[in-house]
Structure formats: C-alpha cells, structure tokens
Amino acid sequence: MIRVDTLTYSASAMCANLCRLEDDFRALEEAGCDELHFDIMDGAFVPNITLGPDFIKAAKACCGLPCNAHLMIADPARYIPRFVEAGADSVTVHIEGCVHAHRALSQIRQAGASPGIAINPGTPLTKLEYLLDFVDRVLVMAVDPGFAGQPIIPSAFERVRILRDNLAYRELNAHIEVDGNIDVQNAAMLAHHGARIFVLGTSSIFKKDAASRDGGLAQAFTEFKKAVDTKRRAL
C-alpha cells in the first residue's frame, strides 16, 4: 500500500454561491478545507471578469481560511499591494501576464505574502526556469484559463511530472498546484505525478446538486477528499 502524502485543497470562490458566500466559506472551514482560491479576471488577459480584492476582505472577516489570489490579469504587479492589503496570504501571477515576472514575485514576498507563478497550457515549462528559486508554488493550468467547467487538457499530467522531476533535481521546495477539471480521477493521477495543491471547482465540490444534498458543501468536500485518497491507493 502506498503512503498517501498530504494534499492541499483550495476551494474556488468563483464557483461558490455568491448569495451565501459566508455560509459556504464557514462550511468549508469546518469541513477541513485548507484554503480559498480567488480567481481574479480582468476581461483582458482572459475573456471573463470575476471577483476583486473586496471579496478576499469579506472572506477574511467571516472565516479563518488562508486566501490565495490567482491574478489572471494583465500587468498584475499594479494590483499586488491591493490584494495583500485585502488579506491575501498568497498571490499567484501568470508568467504570460508579467513584463518582469521576477520583480512581481519579489514584490509579493516583500509585501508579506507567499509568491506563486502560474503557467498556461500553451506556454513551455522552460519559461519558468529562472523563477523556480523564488516561488512557493507553481500553478499548472490544466485548462485554458477564463471559465469553469472545461475538460482537462491531457498534456497536464506529463507537464506536472516533468516539473516535479525538475524541482527535485534542483532540490527546490515549491509545491505544484493544478487548476482545471479536478475530479476524483484527475486529482489522484495528478497527485501520482507530483501535484500537491488542487483547486476545487465545478468538477468536484461545487456541482449543481452539492447545496441540496444532505450535509451540503461540507459533505461534498469530505466525500471528495475520501474518494481521492481511495483512488490514490488503487494506483
């Protein structure tokens, strides 16, 4: 039997019910969710507009979960101070959206938050080489960013494996995060390849019937976590 290493689950606030965010956030916290993931979209870097720093501030006022700001925006360095001031514990920027990515990561660290770098499916992993020493997490997008509910792009599994081997070879401690179509099967396989942080959205805990089921969102999270552990043992 394999040892099931600890995984981190980051619930996507974009997929929560905006009419009852406080209830959803507290339910997730009580169920043992590790983090809230805020997809920040500007309608320019990606074809959608969502959330903002005030949502993070509101989350901090109603629960104790750490908050990650995933800045899917053009020139994210302009907004890093606002998100850290709002309460973001970690900030992830896209390599494709930064003019000076190293400077942006340094800005996040200096502001007191944990820096992360994200990479889109069509961007070669080699673009990250000079940045891996300066991040705490690397977010591998398993879908093209912008919308929930997309099928996973199969190359994500191999990209995670290659990145895992590279980090191990360089003796770096950055964690690999994956966002996009994280269902039970994909989570187990991606964990097998080296991912340790998973963004949970409409493919996992925010399915249409989650709120109406007994136990609601908390039960959906608990069942998903157990199902992933079971699937990993079977690999």
**pLDDT value at 191 more than 80:** yes
Whether 3 has a pLDDT exceeding 50, the answer reads: no
Mean pLDDT computed over 67-75: 97
Look at residue 185 in the predicted model and tell me its pLDDT.
97
Residue 208 has pLDDT above 80, yes or no: no
* Percent of the residues in the chain that have a pLDDT greater than 70, as a whole number: 95
Residue 71 has pLDDT above 90, yes or no: yes
The pLDDT of 83-108, averaged and rounded, is 98
Residues 24, 42, 136, 179: which is the catalytic one? 179
Cα-to-chain-centroid distance, residue 110: 21
Task: Output the pLDDT for position 235.
Answer: 87
Confidence of residue 164 (pLDDT cuts 50, 70, 90): very high
Arithmetic mean of pLDDT, 20-37: 96
Q: Which two tokens stand for residue 98?
A: 């930064």
Q: What is the Rg, in whole angstroms, of the alpha carbon atoms belonging to the chain?
A: 17
pLDDT above 90 (res 2): no
Domain 8-234 has CATH 3.20.20.70: yes
Query: Is 24 an active-site residue?
Result: no
The span from the first CA to the last CA of the chain, in angstroms, equals 10
- Report yes or no: 216 and 25 within 8 Å, Cβ to Cβ: no
Residue from 39, 42, 136, 183 carrying the catalytic annotation = 39
Tokens of 210: 């989650």
**Is 179 designated active site?**
yes
Full DSSP string of 124-191:
-GGGGTTTGGG-SEEEEESS-TT-SSPPPPTHHHHHHHHHHHHHHHTT--PEEEEES---HHHHHHHH
- Greater model confidence, 3 or 108: 108
Residue 1 is predicted with a pLDDT of 35
d(CA 231, CA 185): 7
pLDDT exceeds cutoff 90 at 155 = yes
Q: What is the mean pLDDT of residues 161-168?
A: 98
pTM confidence score: 0.94
pLDDT value of position 114: 98
Ranking 45-49, 91-95, 101-105 by mean pLDDT, the lowest is 45-49
Residue 126 has pLDDT above 80, yes or no: yes
- For 92, the token pair is 């992830």
Beta strand ranges found along the chain (DSSP E): 8-12, 35-42, 49-50, 67-72, 90-94, 114-119, 137-141, 175-179, 197-200
Average pLDDT (88-109) is 97
Domain chopping of the chain, boundaries: 8-234
- Structure token pair of residue 88: 């973001």
